[in-house]
Amino acid sequence: MKADPTIRPHSLRRATADDADVVSSLGARTFTETFAHLYPPEDLETFLAYAYGLERTRNDLAHPDKATWLLEDEDGEAIGYALAGPCELPHEAARSEDGELKRIYVLKSHQGGGRGSMLLNAALDWLEKDGPRPLWIGVFSENFGAQKLYGRMGFEKVGEYHFKVGETRDLEFILRRG
């Protein structure tokens, strides 16, 4: 990971209920930037409305066992975010008391400067704030960049499942640490 001297610690903060619009639109934008090419437009549209809609975002922000972080540039514009909470991945060893990194995205224009690692560290530290516990991540099987990052943080592949985007089913890897 490259250290970027322009990244200042105060640009990373926990999102609050007031950030629902920002998190929702950044979520849809970054998912589209990353994965839109994989899906027919109607599948993408259905998925974005469900997964990144305001209602779901508000519920995540209000959830006592979930946390969202926003990374902002020097003008206060959101350029990345992460979402963590109880594990919901379909693996026989996964328990709801375990933690899960559910989402982590940095705008394409801002990737590769250590920002993703900053978000990841904040989320993993928070997930283990009461001590070490098993942590889980689901990642697209062909997302080699993210897999490299997670591998470096100690995550290993322990399973697979299919993730539904509209009518499309993606092969996802299930990773665990601890």
Ligand X SMILES: CC(C)(COP(=O)(O)OP(=O)(O)OC[C@H]1O[C@@H](n2cnc3c(N)ncnc32)[C@H](O)[C@@H]1OP(=O)(O)O)[C@@H](O)C(=O)NCCC(=O)NCCS
Closest residue by beta carbon to ligand X = 116
Q: Which amino acid is at 34?
A: T
Query: Of residues 25, 32, 46, 111, which one binds ligand X by CB under 6 A?
Result: 111
- Whole-angstrom distance, CA of residue 83 vs CA of residue 102: 5
Query: Of residues 86, 113, 134, 166, which one binds ligand X by CB under 6 A?
Result: 113
**Residue 115 touching ligand X (CB under 6 A):** yes
Shortest distance, CB of residue 33 to ligand X, whole angstroms? Answer: 7
Binding footprint of ligand X, residue count (CB under 6 A)? 20
- Whole-angstrom distance, CA of residue 118 vs CA of residue 135: 17
Q: Map residues 143-172 to x or -, x wherever contact with ligand X holds by CB under 6 A.
A: x-xx-xx--x--------------------
Which tokens go with 128?
């283990």
Q: Map residues 34-53 to x or -, x wherever contact with ligand X holds by CB under 6 A.
A: x-------------------
Among the listed ranges 56-64, 101-109, 123-131, 161-169, the one in contact with ligand X (CB under 6 A) is 101-109
Closest by CA to 10, choosing from 66, 70, 67, is 70
- Measured at the alpha carbon of residue 59, what is the angle toward residues 140 and 143, in degrees to the nearest 5? 10
Task: List the 135-140 sheet strands across, edge first.
Answer: 12-14, 67-72, 78-86, 99-106, 135-140, 168-177, 156-165
Contacting positions for ligand X (CB under 6 A): 1-2, 34, 104-106, 111-117, 139, 143, 145-146, 148-149, 152
